[in-house]
Structure formats: structure tokens, C-alpha cells
């Protein structure tokens, strides 16, 4: 199961006789070196930055190398609401995205399987939001949910909303935005796994006295587990680090800031690089726990090895 939602399921050929050759190194070296310099080194830089100490003069944005483990304690004490909120919001958004996407993915992958053109067109609709700027999509929701919007005036007119209530700037609108923006990330891996679901298993279940819901619970759901797990990671990871939806210019308010927002403000507004780095490391560590679980599942449960990650 490829982690990327974009990989098409290629019919697996007989594995090629794999040769050892200097050519392999030539092919690998530039890309691997690039990733080391621009991915691994930056991660390492974050680790060292997070331990830096302020200069003696205390100038803003000036730090010296150090071993200030205390930076972590400071940011944890200061930003624990934002950190917890990030994981809470993303968890709720992930669950909503899963509930929203599963029936849709099932319909496209299984129900219209015998009509490939329609199936592909529906898939294009699922990824259509990718073709328009992420920020503009979010902006559009902000306008549609703003206090002056038709929806809010209608709800207020029908007394379904208190006159002084808002939709934007609330946890609801932030979670709504996160859910909306990451739905395709959930739908695509679900689609990929459901597309390969052999409906004869469902017929066999039905033949063996399983009612539709039981068939779903005992056959469809376990068989689509790899897709669910990929989808959850693909949704949860960017949602936890996102700071556009939660920012005040978009769907958030003063009470909805997430870890991404505080990393951003520490970096740019306060120029407190050690704090921004420490927060990044905290976020990365939490995500790494999930990712390691996923890697272990790939290697030991699904037996696809680290090859299966790509």
C-alpha cells in the first residue's frame, strides 16, 4: 500500500533480476544527497536551534549555540493549549473526513466499477479542489460562512443561531476548514484500496448468512484497513501542522490558534527561533510516533516492507 494517494496501482510484473552496479550509485547519489542537504540537515538544524540560548546582550533574534533543554519546558508550558488543540482539531477533522469519504470512495470504487469513464470523471471531481489554490478555497468558505453571508443571515433570520453568534473564528469553522481541505487526502487512499476490493467476497459473505451491515463490518472494513490507515495519516499529518485554516485572516479566531500558528509567529514576529524549533520538534516527534507505527505495520503486518511505503 503506497502511502502516497497519487500512485496508481500498477500491475506488478515479475521482479526484475536486480543487478548490483555502479550505475545504481550514480542514479541515487544526486537525489539522495539533495534530500540529505535539504531535508535531513534542516531537521538536524531544528534540533540544534531548539537548544540555542539567547545572547548575553539579549538582542531580539540573536542566539548562540547551547544546550538549553529548558526551551522545551518553556514552550510546553506556554503553548500546551495550542499543542493539544492542534491534535484535538486534527483528530476530529480526520474522523469527519473518514466518515465523509468512506461512502463516497465506496461508491466510486465499487458501485460504478463497471463504468470506467464515469468512475474516472467522478475521481476527477474528487481531486478538482487540488486545481484551485488552497488559500482561495479556504477564503471562499470564509466568505460563505462570514457574519454578512447569506447562510448566517438566513440562520439568524430563522432563529437557528443567536443574533450575536458567529461561525467563522470558532473551533467549528477551523475544524470544518481542515476537514474540507483534507477530504481528498482521505478519499484517494480509500478509493485505491476499495477499487481492488473483490466483490465476490461480499457475495460470499451474503451467501454465508451475513446481513449487509455484518458483511461490511466483517469483510469490507477489515479488507480496507490499509486504506483507512493511509488516509488517516495523510489527513492527520497536514491537518496537525496546518496554520492557514486556524489563522485569523481565514477561518480561525483568537481562541483557535494551533501549533503551526505559534511556530509561525515565534519565527517571524518574535524571532524566537529556539522556541519555533522546539515546537517543530515536538510536532515532528508526535507525528513520528504515528509514522513509526505505520512503518511497523507495513513491515510486519502487511509485509510490504519499506518498499511498500513508496
* Ranges within 51-80 binding other proteins (CB under 8 A): none
- Cell numbers describing residue 276: 519555533
Provide φ and ψ at 237, rounded to 5°: -60, -55
Q: Which of 114, 110, 98 is nearest to 202 (CA)?
A: 110
Q: Which of residues 197-256 bind other proteins (CB under 8 A)?
A: 198, 200-201, 203-212, 214, 218-219, 222-223, 233, 237-238, 240-244, 249-250
Nearer to other proteins, 2 or 159 (CB): 2
| Nearest distance from C-beta of residue 216 to other proteins, angstroms | 12
Stretch that binds other proteins, among 30-38, 73-81, 157-165, 167-175 (CB under 8 A): 30-38
Nearer to other proteins, 107 or 172 (CB): 107
Kindly state whether residue 99 participates in binding other proteins, applying the rule CB under 8 A. Answer: no
Kindly state whether residue 174 participates in binding other proteins, applying the rule CB under 8 A. Answer: no
Would you say 297 and 229 are in contact if contact means Cβ atoms under 8 Å apart? yes
Q: Which of 69, 121, 151, 270 touches other proteins (CB under 8 A)?
A: 121
Kindly state whether residue 92 participates in binding other proteins, applying the rule CB under 8 A. Answer: no
Helix (H, G, I), strand (E, B) or coil at 64: strand
Q: Which of 54, 88, 129, 171 touches other proteins (CB under 8 A)?
A: 129
User: CA 72 → CA 56, 239, 283, distances in Å?
Assistant: 20, 22, 12
Convert residues 132-171 into a mask of x (bound to other proteins by CB under 8 A) and - (unbound): xxxxxxxxxx-xx-x-x-----------------------
Burial class (CB in 10 A: 0-12, 13-18, 19+), 113: middle
User: CA 115 → CA 110, 120, 141, 202, 257, distances in Å?
Assistant: 10, 9, 33, 20, 45
With vertex at residue 147, the alpha carbon angle to CA 146 and CA 148, rounded to the nearest 5 degrees, is 90
Stretch that binds other proteins, among 77-85, 156-164, 166-174, 288-296 (CB under 8 A): 288-296
As a whole number of angstroms, the distance between CA 44 and CA 39 comes to 9
| Nearest distance from C-beta of residue 145 to other proteins, angstroms | 11
Cα torsion through 45, 46, 52, 55, rounded to 10: 80
The CA-based diameter of the chain, rounded to the nearest angstrom, is: 78
Would you say 246 and 258 are in contact if contact means Cβ atoms under 8 Å apart? yes
Q: Reduce the secondary structure of 201-248 to three states and give it as a string.
A: HHHHHHHCCCCHHHHHHHHHHHHCHHHHHHHHHHHHHHHHHCCCCCCC
Nearer to other proteins, 196 or 255 (CB): 196
Kindly state whether residue 289 participates in binding other proteins, applying the rule CB under 8 A. Answer: no
Stretch that binds other proteins, among 70-78, 130-138, 158-166, 167-175 (CB under 8 A): 130-138
Nearer to other proteins, 89 or 159 (CB): 89
Stretch that binds other proteins, among 31-39, 74-82, 159-167, 188-196 (CB under 8 A): 31-39
- Which residues have CB under 8 Å from 54's CB, separation 6+? 62, 63, 64
Cell numbers 447569506 correspond to 150
| Nearest distance from C-beta of residue 188 to other proteins, angstroms | 12
Stretch that binds other proteins, among 15-23, 66-74, 76-84, 167-175 (CB under 8 A): 15-23
Q: Which of 32, 76, 151, 296 touches other proteins (CB under 8 A)?
A: 32
Nearer to other proteins, 25 or 69 (CB): 25
By CB under 8 A, the count of residues binding other proteins is 122
Amino acid at each position: 500500500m503506497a502511502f502516497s494517494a497519487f500512485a496508481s496501482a500498477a500491475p506488478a510484473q515479475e521482479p526484475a533480476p536486480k543487478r548490483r552496479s555502479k550505475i545504481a550509485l550514480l542514479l541515487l547519489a544526486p537525489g539522495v544527497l539533495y534530500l540529505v542537504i535539504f531535508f535531513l540537515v534542516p531537521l538536524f538544524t531544528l534540533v540544534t536551534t531548539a537548544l540555542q540560548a539567547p545572547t548575553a546582550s539579549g538582542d531580539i533574534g540573536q542566539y548562540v549555540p547551547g544546550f538549553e533543554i529548558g526551551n522545551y519546558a518553556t514552550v510546553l508550558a506556554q503553548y500546551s493549549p495550542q499543542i493539544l488543540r492542534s491534535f484535538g482539531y486534527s483528530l476530529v477533522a480526520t474522523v469527519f473526513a473518514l466518515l465523509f469519504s468512506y461512502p463516497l470512495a465506496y461508491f466510486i470504487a465499487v458501485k460504478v466499477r463497471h463504468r470506467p469513464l464515469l468512475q474516472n470523471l467522478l475521481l476527477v471531481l474528487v481531486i478538482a479542489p487540488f486545481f484551485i489554490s488552497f488559500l482561495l478555497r479556504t477564503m471562499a468558505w470564509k466568505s460563505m460562512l462570514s457574519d454578512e453571508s447569506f447562510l448566517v443571515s438566513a440562520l439568524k433570520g430563522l432563529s437557528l443561531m443567536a443574533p450575536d453568534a458567529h461561525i467563522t473564528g470558532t473551533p467549528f469553522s477551523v475544524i470544518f476548514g481542515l476537514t474540507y481541505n483534507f477530504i481528498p487526502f482521505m478519499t484517494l487512499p480509500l478509493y485505491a484500496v476499495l477499487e481492488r476490493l473483490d466483490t465476490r467476497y461480499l457475495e460470499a459473505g451474503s451467501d454465508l448468512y451475513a446481513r449487509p451491515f455484518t458483511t461490511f463490518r466483517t469483510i469490507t472494513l477489515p479488507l480496507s484497513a490499509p486504506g483507512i490507515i493511509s488516509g488517516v495519516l495523510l489527513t492527520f499529518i497536514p491537518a496537525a501542522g496546518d496554520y492557514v485554516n486556524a489563522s485569523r485572516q481565514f477561518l480561525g479566531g483568537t481562541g483557535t490558534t494551533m501549533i503551526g500558528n505559534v511556530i509561525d509567529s515565534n519565527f517571524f514576529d518574535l524571532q524566537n527561533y529556539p522556541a519555533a524549533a522546539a515546537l517543530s520538534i515536538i510536532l515532528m516527534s508526535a507525528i513520528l510516533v504515528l509514522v513509526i507505527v505505520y512503518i511497523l505495520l507495513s513491515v510486519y503486518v502487511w509485509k510490504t516492507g519499506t518498499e511498500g511505503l513508496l
